[in-house]
Structure 1
Amino acid sequence: MRKIIHIDMDCFYAAIEVRDDPSLRGKPVAVGGKGGRGVVATCNYEARKFGVHSALPMKTALRLCPQLNVVNVNMDKYREASHIIRDIFQQYTDQVEPISLDEAYLDVTTSDVQDGSATLIAHQIRTEIYEATGLTASAGIAPNKLIAKIASDWRKPNGQFTVPPQDASSFVAQLPIGKLWGIGKVTRQKLNDRGIFTVSQLTELTFEQMIQQFGQYGRQLFDMVRGIDNREVKSHSKTKSVSVENTFENDLVTTQQKAQAIEKLVFQLMERLERNQLLPRVKKCSLKLRNYQFKTHTAEITTGCFLAESYQTLFQKLNAKDASPIRLIGVGVSIIDVEHFAAELPFIEEL
């Protein structure tokens, strides 16, 4: 039986800012852009009490929490802390699968540290992270990646939760359906409208019904609702793009028209990424402009997270080179570890 640990740092970016500026301790803090188009990259628990969350427009966050302390993103500082944390992981196993700067899976099945106890290994890793960085981490310990990730949220912040192999199916069965990977807000609401609220209710569907209701994702979902997940911890992640684009019936002529169109597309992209739990996995942001002569210009920037304001920066760069009327705009991101990507599961009406 495998022993999988999912480590998730607590409010990583915000925690680093509070660590480095003690005057922020105990106060609501959000990390993100301060401009009119700024977006919350992350926030601490004090801010979440007011309804602030990642991907929220900063102006909305400030309306919900006027006393919110907004700090600009400092990726160099976050990467430095992430490198220290990953070095700690490597001391326990070489089977480490980073999901983002602040999240990773570890397979410690063959480790003899702490007499092979994954629960004790997770506790020791969390202790070492705190001693090395001053930051807290939460952990989930389980026989597979699906349950380990869910379990890491169980005792947040600064805690851990273990799901023994014999409890895997019962643990998953009592979960609300929205906890399952691949079931987003739309599908969850439609299932709720049909009286389906817990995973145990989905286990009543046969394999054939799963395929009928959810298409090819039904194959994986059939296993997930039973606590089965055979995905391996892969130390080498892949990168793939997710994008949204629009071809306009009338060319966009003015700078304002172009900027507003980009802003709308960025929010569509952000909603798609949030729905599929991909916001923490963004590596790069990219912009594509095609003018009325079908000439295409592209630009990208490495951000390490989703920053909505970066697209306006890219636009200014491209517009300075070519300000001619625009026919097509595309906004995209490069996603790390695309194995975990699943589009919103299709929902068939005949449930």
Structure 2
Amino acid sequence: MAQGKRVVLASRPVGEPKPSDFRIEEFAPASPGEGQVLLRTIWLSLDPYMRGRMSDAPSYAAPVPIGGVMEGGAVSEVIASNNPAFAKGDIVQARTGWQTHALSDGKGLVKVDPKLAPISTAVGVLGMPGMTAYVGLLEIGKPQAGETVVVAAASGAVGSAVGQIARIKGARAIGIAGGKDKCDYVKRELGFDDCLDHRDPELAAKLKGACPKGIDVYFENVGGAVFDAVFPLLNPFARVPVCGLIAHYNDTEAKPPPWAGVLMRNVLTKRLTIRGFIVSDFAARHADFLRDMSSWVREGKVKYREFVTEGLENAPSAFMGLLKGANFGKQLVRVGPDKDKS
């Protein structure tokens, strides 16, 4: 068997991650022991939350240790098995990290049906990003027909699904994305009612024009100037699912906004619901998600786009680009071929 490769955390970033914060190592993949399987990674998912795992600040999950394999979900092929639940050739989804091969005892492995959709979707629209959109919008946002839903990072893996689900539920969907090409895609291909460029100096005024009746649901992926533009437009009883804050992930110090008191006063007087969530909070909804989302994808009601980087060695640069919005759609790394050629 060829040597395996893995990307480990070499140092904790200060501000934006840089190439020296990662290190690529070679290793000899081990043979599976009793009850184990050996996995060969095909697709690696890159997601903004990984920036938090590079930090040792208190969070909802343990940080990646220095010298540890970078955290991440992957779609893999079973290439050797001593576990009766998995056969050689099975395709599975697991959190095996940034590496070409991994051993597993089978816990946490989820079989992927290649007949359902392309296997890459198991870490995209039919995986964690898709379920994040589904539960965050439907369980917290609770959009009603005729309401206005605004979503930041609208061309990304989560945001694109949020807006399309909002449309399925009869709501207006207004996206915010980075650049004309992304905004055109969100409107023309995904069917949002409108999409605004977050780089536009007139964002606040244009958002007000796009939301003449105010905003009932704001799906927060970004924070920063986008939230500043959204906040004054929130209607009484508006709901704000807080999924991510990518504008702040590289902050080196925490600073409360100068209008923190204004925010809390509006939370009170407008009776706003602002709730952070992690997708695992709603694990019990997974079967509902997979049933609904796979149906919507099959029927063309939910479309998706993948942004593919070739080769594990390019994962660090792809991740750094992801944090700057360089990707267009779900960021994936193709680590190996769909089927083992050995």
TM-score scaled by length of structure 2 = 0.23
Bigger-Rg structure (1/2): 1
**Structure number having the greater helix percentage:** 1
